[in-house]
């Protein structure tokens, strides 16, 4: 392979995150509760605040108490640079919600106009 071909092959690798993902704020998709296609409101899923009351957290705090330093291994070998985007779809008729994971990406937008190819003064060649 020539250097240009190798670079092109590396850029088109399916496992790598792509440039920009732009998703509309509403999507007509299947609702399991209504049992038909209905318009859904799309938003990005965000993880809630940790309460610290889960069984593992309570066990860890109990083990950490007192003398003896750090008792469990601390993870340092982080390999991923992106997270998978999870869409939260809410049915506009019955308000049923479901999650839909999509691919990994660094830049994600919900229903905004793309700036690519548009200038302040209008047309492409002005």
The C-alpha atoms of residue 51 and residue 4 are separated, in whole angstroms, by 51
Tens-place pLDDT, residues 37-52: 999 999 999 999 999 9
Q: Kindly report, residue by residue over 2-35, the tens digit of the pLDDT.
A: 545 444 444 445 555 557 899 999 999 999 999 9
Q: What is the pTM of this model?
A: 0.67
**Pairwise CA distance, residues 35 & 91, whole Å:** 11
What's the token pair of residue 95? Answer: 């308000």
83 Cβ contact list (under 8 Å, min separation 6): 104
pLDDT tens digits for 91-111?
A: 999 999 999 999 999 999 998
Residue 19: the pLDDT is 78
- Per-residue confidence band for 82, with pLDDT thresholds at 50, 70 and 90: very high
**What pLDDT band is residue 76 in, cutting at 50, 70 and 90?**
very high
């Amino acid at each position: 392979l020539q250097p240009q071909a190798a670079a092109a092959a590396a850029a088109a690798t399916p496992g790598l995150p792509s440039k920009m993902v732009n998703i509309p704020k509403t999507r007509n998709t299947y609702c399991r509760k209504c049992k038909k296609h209905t318009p859904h409101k799309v938003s990005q899923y965000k993880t809630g605040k940790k309460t610290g009351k889960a069984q593992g957290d309570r066990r860890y705090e109990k083990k950490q108490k007192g003398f003896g330093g750090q008792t469990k291994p601390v993870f340092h070998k982080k390999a991923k640079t992106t997270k998978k985007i999870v869409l939260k779809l809410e049915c506009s008729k019955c308000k049923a919600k479901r999650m839909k994971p999509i691919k990994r990406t660094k830049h994600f937008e919900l229903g905004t106009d793309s700036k690519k190819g548009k200038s302040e003064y209008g047309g492409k060649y002005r």
